[in-house]
Structures are given as structure tokens and as C-alpha cells.
């Protein structure tokens, strides 16, 4: 249930907020009073997302393009004067078994899921003051063996370490940094895995459900609830946490 007091007048930036988990989070923040600015790479999905969030702003930005991120943050500084909550949710999926893994694919995944996310956090700090919060979207794939998951899992594992590093270095600034690591979630990202046709995706989905003790996929809104908690004053004594939202998949197996 939305609580209008948690984010009233807060300036919230959602990187990768144009679909799936990011969109659910952007909608949740706005429902609780936040002024939301979201990004994505697809102008069409950004427009569709903004149509569901009255008053929100959006911009087409590739998190892997550091110059574009500089320009985006300059715009945020001019329009909003700062950032109270940053959600780093931008990312790409995909699977490649070790025999088919290529340097180009590795670099593409890491440019977005690790390098881009790390520097997005670094660049945002100049706009964040005491009491601000950063939440990063990780994945249980960064903690477990999944066939074909080397590039993605390594990037998310690196991002989990980066989150803890940011949390440790920002704690004296009174900026909290936490991570939410989803398990199998029903989002459009599942259906955009390079090299996987509809049948392969359906098979992957069945495998995912079988690996979840709750025997179902999670929803974007369930992940958003965890993100909003960590971003709120209710989590004021929590930093460097990595909250698994996975139906028990990693903890129970």
C-alpha cells in the first residue's frame, strides 16, 4: 500500500525506469509523492512509461555512454537542483555458454551492467546530500551457478561489491547505499535475451519456476516494494545490505 508521506517532494531518479522493475519502482515513487525522472534507451517505451506517471520526466540515455550521463545529470541539476533517491536499475540480460562467449559480448554486458552502473553512481554523488539514498538492482545470478550466466553473473557480482564499496565510502556523508537482488521476475527483460527464441525463453521460464521454492515467478511490483523500503526513511539504519527478492531460490534452493 502506498504511503504518501515517504517520498513527498523527494527528487527521485530511476535509471532504467522505462519498463519492468524500473517502471514499477518509478510508479511506486510517484504514487508516494516523489518528483520522478526516469531514463531508458528506447524513446517509445519511455513515452509509454511517462503516460502512466503524471508529472514525471523522462530522457533517452544509454548508461554505458558516460558523456551522455554527464549531460543527463547536468540537466537534473538544472531542473531539480539535486537528487534525493537514485535507483540504478539499467541493465541488459542474455546468456552465453562458455564455449560461445565472445569478448564483444562480455564487453557489451559489462559496459552496461557494471561499468555504466558504477560511474552512474559516482557521477550522481555530486548531486546528493545528507540523507540521500542509492538503491542498486543486482541479481541472484551474481551469487549462484546458472548455465550460460558467466558474463551477466560476473557483472552483477562485481556490482554487488561496488555497492558495498560505495556504502562504506559514503557512510560518513550520511548517504545510504543498498542493493535489491531479484530472482526470477516476470518482466520484458526475460523476453529480450539475445539468441533465444520463443521456445527457448519458455523453457528457461519453466526452469526458473522449478528452481523457486514458492513455485512461481515474482512480480515487478514485489521487487519495487523492496526498493522503496530501502530508499525510504524506514530503512534509515540500513546500508550495504543486499536484499534477496527471489521466493527463497538462493537461500533455500
Residues 221 and 156: their CA atoms lie apart, in Å, by 21
Of 26, 15, 22, which is closest to residue 66 (Cα–Cα)? 15
* Bridge partners (DSSP) listed for residue 243: 180
Residues 20 and 28: their CA atoms lie apart, in Å, by 12
In whole angstroms, how large is the CA radius of gyration of the chain? 17
* Bridge partners (DSSP) listed for residue 41: none
Ramachandran quadrant class, 85 (left: phi over 0; alpha: psi -120 to 50; beta: rest): beta
CA atoms within 13 A on the CB side of 36: 32
Residues carrying an active site annotation: 152
* β-bridge pairing 57-60 and 85-88: unpaired
Q: Which three cell numbers stand for residue 208?
A: 526458473
User: How many CB atoms neighbour CB 246 within 10 A?
Assistant: 24
* Bridge partners (DSSP) listed for residue 225: none
Amino acid at each position: 500500500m502506498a504511503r504518501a508521506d515517504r517520498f513527498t517532494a523527494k527528487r527521485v531518479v530511476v535509471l532504467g525506469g522505462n519498463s519492468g522493475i524500473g517502471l514499477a519502482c518509478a510508479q511506486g515513487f510517484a504514487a508516494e509523492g516523489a518528483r520522478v525522472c526516469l531514463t531508458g534507451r528506447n524513446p517509445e517505451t519511455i513515452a509509454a512509461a511517462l503516460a502512466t506517471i503524471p508529472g514525471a520526466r523522462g530522457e533517452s540515455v544509454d548508461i554505458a555512454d558516460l558523456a551522455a550521463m554527464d549531460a543527463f545529470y547536468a540537466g537534473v541539476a538544472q531542473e531539480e537542483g539535486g537528487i534525493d533517491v537514485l535507483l540504478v536499475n539499467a541493465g541488459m540480460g542474455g546468456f552465453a555458454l562458455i564455449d560461445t562467449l565472445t569478448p564483444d559480448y562480455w564487453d557489451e554486458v559489462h559496459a552496461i551492467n557494471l561499468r555504466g552502473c558504477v560511474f552512474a553512481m559516482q557521477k550522481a554523488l555530486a548531486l546528493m546530500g545528507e540523507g540521500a539514498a542509492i538503491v542498486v538492482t543486482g541479481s541472484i545470478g551474481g551469487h549462484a551457478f546458472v548455465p550460460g550466466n558467466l558474463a551477466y553473473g560476473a557483472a552483477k557480482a562485481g556490482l554487488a561489491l561496488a555497492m558495498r564499496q560505495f556504502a562504506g565510502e559514503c557512510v560518513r556523508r550520511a548517504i545510504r547505499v543498498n542493493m535489491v537482488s531479484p530472482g526470477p521476475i516476470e518482466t520484458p527483460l526475460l523476453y529480450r535475451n539475445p539468441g533465444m527464441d520463443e521456445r527457448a525463453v519458455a523453457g528457461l521460464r519453466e526452469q526458473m519456476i522449478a528452481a523457486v521454492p514458492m513455485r512461481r515467478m515474482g512480480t515487478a511490483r514485489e521487487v519495487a516494494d523492496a526498493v522503496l523500503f530501502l530508499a525510504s526513511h524506514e530503512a534509515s539504519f540500513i546500508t550495504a545490505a543486499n536484499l534477496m527478492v527471489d521466493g527463497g531460490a538462493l537461500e533455500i534452493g
